[in-house]
Amino acid sequence: QSALTQPASVSGSPGQSITISCTGTSSDIGTYNYVSWYQQYPGKAPKLMIYDVSNRPSGVSNRFSGSKSANTASLTISGLQSEDEGDYYCSSYTSSSTVVFGGGTKLTVL
Amino acid sequence: QLQLQESGPGLVKPSETLSLTCTVSGGYINTFIYYWGWIRQPPGKGLQWIGSACYSGNTYYNPSLKSRVTISLDTSKNQFSLKLSSVTAADTAVYFCARVPSGYDPNWFDPWGQGTLVTVSS
């Protein structure tokens, strides 16, 4: 299974909105509404931010939102804050009953 | 509040078997509702799903690791374990355990353990 494709890095200024894309295939993102997003700070464990494409776990800010179109999912962070800086990973369920992650995106808050 | 904690040797020799345990507190693993999974992250790299297992006996493994991986549950200790055989330097990584709340088509992970670094070296 091939990793999902994410941009290596994105950046934005405080208060702005940014979007991170996650591109898969018809065997994963294109077929299933099982896309999740994780935030990871250096040396820490990933934290679930979005599951099932657009659902936010309790406690996650509503500044984080997810969507999907065809084979591409997106994570949007609005009202960017310095604490949002970190690495973001997408993942998807696949037609082989497996899970595949994206390569990760480093978000820099300018 | 559910918490997970990985434990095991931090150093494994090439060709040997890597064995890790994840101890779960604040909940029980003997449920058909959740899966329990392992994910790893090589130093400076991205996340790689290793596999997930359920009390029902269902298990799913990453095809690239399937021939070397076993995930099992020990309900008496409320732990689940990972065994990865014939390791090489490429298996050096931080290994995370996590709950998989999506019992049907298991795919998302929450919460995660803090992770444990395993280095493969002679």
Residue A20 has a pLDDT of 98
Residue B102 has a pLDDT of 82
How sure is the predictor about A86, in pLDDT bands with cuts at 50, 70 and 90?
very high
pLDDT at A1 over 90: no
Residue A87 has a pLDDT of 98
Does the CB of B102 have a partner CB in chain A at under 8 Å? yes
Question: Which residues, in sequence order, are bridge partners of residue A12?
Answer: A109
The one-letter code for the residue type at B110 is D
Provide the mean pLDDT of chain A: 97
Interface test with A, best of B47, B50, B58 (most A CBs within 10 A): B47
Residue B103 has a pLDDT of 75
pLDDT at A89 over 90: yes
B89: phi then psi, degrees, rounded to nearest 5: -60, -25
Mean pLDDT per segment of 10 residues, for chain B of length 122 residues?
A: 97 98 96 95 98 94 97 97 98 98 88 98 96
pLDDT at A71 over 90: yes
pLDDT digits (tens, 9 = 90+) for A8-56: 999 999 999 999 999 999 999 999 999 999 999 999 999 999 999 999 9
**Is the N-terminal amide bond of B111 cis, ω within 30° of 0?**
yes
Does the CB of B114 have a partner CB in chain A at under 8 Å? yes
A105 in Cβ contact with A87 (< 8 Å): yes
Residue B106 has a pLDDT of 85
Average pLDDT over residues A67-91: 98
B113 in Cβ contact with B21 (< 8 Å): no
Nearest C-alpha in B relative to A95: B105
A64 in Cβ contact with A56 (< 8 Å): yes
Residues 6+ apart with CB under 8 A from B96: A45, A46, B6, B38, B39, B40, B41, B112, B113, B114, B115
Q: Is B23 exposed, middle or buried (0-12, 13-18, 19+ CB in 10 A)?
A: middle
